[in-house]
């Protein structure tokens, strides 16, 4: 281990250029971090989900639903069993979404995948269990539904909460929070003053 570490330390003559190059990489990494709003992904804020504009229709439909008052995106779409499961699921889903978005391979109609549907079903039951204690369907899991042993919540409640008509082009002009400029306001102010 120690020899490994030694191997990475450059010889004295190389230290200055190595430091500059490493600085460039870290700096560029930080810049990427900033413009991709990377830190926001640790939070539960729904605005995080529209860092990529393909989710704007989902944000807009949620924003106009009753669920807005009680549930964020993550309350339904991320497992709430324990923090490890939450972050693991979020990381996996997020990495997949980021890759698809970066490669511009998003489909026109985004549909939930099986893993996501299983999570949502459990989260419906998590909040609505009390209200619907005596309703048999509250016992149905995604796996059971797949084997025709019951219906998922949204097989009947089909409008909840995103509506039934959805594609990248639905509610394109909805007024959702915008990302705005990546340049911090103080820098903008300085530049503005310079111009004057």
Q: Which two tokens stand for residue 126?
A: 């998590």
Task: Give counts: helices (H), strands (E), the chain.
Answer: 9, 0
CB of 178 to other proteins, least distance (A): 8
43 binds other proteins per the rule CB under 8 A: no
102 binds other proteins (CB under 8 A): yes
* Residue 78 burial (C-beta neighbours within 10 Å; 0-12, 13-18, 19+): buried
**Min. distance of Cβ 25 from other proteins in angstroms?**
6
From CA 29, how far away is CA 61, in angstroms rounded?
A: 34
Residue 46 makes CB contacts below 8 A (sequence gap 6+) with: 59, 62, 63, 72, 73
**Shortest spacing between CB 106 and other proteins, in angstroms:** 9
Residue 187 binds other proteins (CB under 8 A): no
Does 109 contact other proteins by CB under 8 A?
Answer: yes
> Which one, of 116, 152, 118, 157, lies nearest residue 137 by Cα?
152
With vertex at residue 120, the alpha carbon angle to CA 116 and CA 126, rounded to the nearest 5 degrees, is: 145
Does position 25 bind other proteins by CB under 8 A?
A: yes
Q: Taking contact as CB under 8 A, which single stretch among the options 83-91, 130-138, 140-148, 176-184 is the one that binds other proteins? A: 176-184
Q: Which of 16, 19, 28, 191 binds other proteins (CB under 8 A)?
A: 28
* Interface positions, 124-163, toward other proteins (CB under 8 A): none
Q: Assess contact for 168 and 106: CB atoms under 8 A.
A: yes
Query: Token pair for residue 103?
Result: 């490669």
- Of residues 62-81, which lie at the interface with other proteins (CB under 8 A)? none
> Which pair of structure tokens corresponds to residue 187?
């820098």
- Near other proteins by CB under 8 A, which window of 20-28, 69-77, 86-94, 118-126? 20-28
Residues that bind other proteins (CB under 8 A): 11-12, 14, 21, 24-25, 28-29, 31-32, 35-36, 52-54, 101-102, 104, 107-109, 111, 164-170, 172, 178-179, 182
């Amino acid at each position: 281990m120690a020899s490994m570490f030694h191997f990475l330390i450059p010889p004295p003559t190389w230290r200055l250029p190595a430091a500059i190059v490493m600085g460039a990489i870290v700096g560029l990494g930080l810049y990427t971090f900033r413009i991709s709003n990377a830190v926001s992904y640790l939070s539960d804020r729904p605005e995080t989900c529209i860092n990529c504009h393909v989710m704007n229709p989902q944000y807009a439909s949620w924003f106009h639903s009753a669920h807005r008052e009680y549930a964020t995106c993550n309350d339904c779409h991320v497992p709430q069993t324990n923090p490890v499961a939450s972050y693991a699921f979020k990381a996996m889903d997020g990495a997949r979404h980021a890759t698809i978005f970066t490669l511009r391979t998003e489909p026109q109609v985004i549909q939930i995948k099986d893993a996501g549907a299983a999570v949502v079903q459990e989260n419906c039951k998590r909040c609505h269990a009390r209200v619907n204690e005596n309703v048999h369907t509250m016992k149905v899991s995604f796996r059971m539904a797949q084997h025709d042993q019951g219906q998922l919540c949204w097989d009947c409640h089909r409008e909840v909460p995103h509506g039934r008509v959805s594609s990248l082009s639905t509610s394109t002009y909805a007024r959702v929070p915008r990302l705005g400029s990546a340049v911090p306001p103080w820098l903008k102010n300085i530049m503005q003053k310079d111009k004057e």
